[in-house]
């Protein structure tokens, strides 16, 4: 299960459960309970807590607020994470309007495109000419980008972003971009995901 093999995802899930506990009025908790709520073994929870310096276990367990604060620091939730969207076609504009970011301390602050008809500097989230992107990144100290450009533009755009010292890219273009030491890239390839699903769905079909 992917959720158990990805430490950051586990930390994020711990945080989410802790926020719910806090909302319910709990002040302390025992780490074994946390694992149970997430289908993660108590041993794994203890290892994660040790690996990421989540200390503070006393009689009666951990302090909920203290743990949330520590997790916020690790996950970058204690400061607003500004994101730019590069490529403002359908997927780009959908992600610019995605309302899941705001509750997680993330915000899309601008979009960039090469198509003049999409440029709209007066929109709530402005869309600028892609040629103005390097200046914007430097001025606004942007470190994160979502790439929703066509495959043909992906390689060049990623090089421009790396040249601007962007540190993290979420790439939706259907091309596998590699991380470097200065820039982490994660690729979401919808066609590949569907191909995987189709392959296994056909196996299910053939076993009937």
Residues making contact with a copy of itself (CB under 8 A) = 1-3, 6, 8-9, 12, 74-76, 81, 83, 90-91, 94-95, 97-98, 100-101, 104, 106, 143-144, 167-170, 174, 176, 178, 181-184, 186-188, 190-202, 204-205
Contacts of residue 69, Cβ cutoff 8 Å, sequence gap at least 6: 78
Q: Which residue carries 């520590």 as its tokens? A: 70
Question: What minimum distance in Å lies between the beta carbon of 100 and a copy of itself?
Answer: 6
Question: What minimum distance in Å lies between the beta carbon of 201 and a copy of itself?
Answer: 4
* Choice between 30 and 153, CB closer to a copy of itself: 153
* Choice between 12 and 114, CB closer to a copy of itself: 12
Of residues 145, 202, 193, the one with CA closest to residue 168: 145
* Choice between 131 and 155, CB closer to a copy of itself: 155
Kindly state the tokens that stand for 15: 């945080």
Assign 28 to helix, strand or coil.
strand
Question: What minimum distance in Å lies between the beta carbon of 28 and a copy of itself?
Answer: 25
Question: What minimum distance in Å lies between the beta carbon of 87 and a copy of itself?
Answer: 12
Pairing of strands 62-63, 28-29: antiparallel
* Choice between 117 and 181, CB closer to a copy of itself: 181
Partners of residue 146 on adjacent β-strands? 85, 170
Asked if 10 and 35 count as a contact pair (C-beta separation under 8 A), the reply is no
* Choice between 42 and 168, CB closer to a copy of itself: 168
Of residues 114, 117, 150, 147, the one with CA closest to residue 131: 114
Question: What minimum distance in Å lies between the beta carbon of 37 and a copy of itself?
Answer: 13
């Amino acid at each position: 299960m992917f959720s158990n093999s990805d430490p950051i995802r586990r930390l994020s899930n711990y945080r989410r459960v802790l926020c719910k506990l806090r909302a319910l009025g709990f002040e302390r908790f025992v780490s074994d309970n946390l694992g149970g709520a997430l289908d993660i073994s108590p041993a794994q929870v203890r290892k994660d807590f040790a690996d990421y310096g989540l200390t503070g276990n006393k009689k009666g367990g951990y302090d909920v607020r203290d743990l949330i604060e520590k997790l916020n620091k690790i996950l970058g939730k204690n400061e607003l994470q500004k994101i730019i969207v590069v490529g403002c076609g359908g997927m780009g504009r959908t992600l610019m309007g995605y309302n899941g970011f705001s509750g997680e301390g993330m915000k899309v602050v601008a979009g960039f495109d090469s198509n003049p008809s999409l440029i709209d500097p007066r929109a709530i989230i402005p869309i600028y000419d892609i040629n103005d992107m390097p200046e914007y990144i430097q001025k606004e100290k942007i470190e994160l980008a979502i790439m929703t450009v066509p495959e043909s533009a992906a390689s060049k755009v990623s090089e421009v972003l790396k040249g601007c010292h962007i540190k993290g890219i979420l790439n939706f273009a259907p091309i596998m971009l590699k991380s470097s030491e200065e820039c982490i890239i994660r690729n979401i390839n919808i066609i590949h995901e569907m191909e995987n699903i189709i392959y296994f769905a056909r196996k299910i079909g053939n076993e009937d």
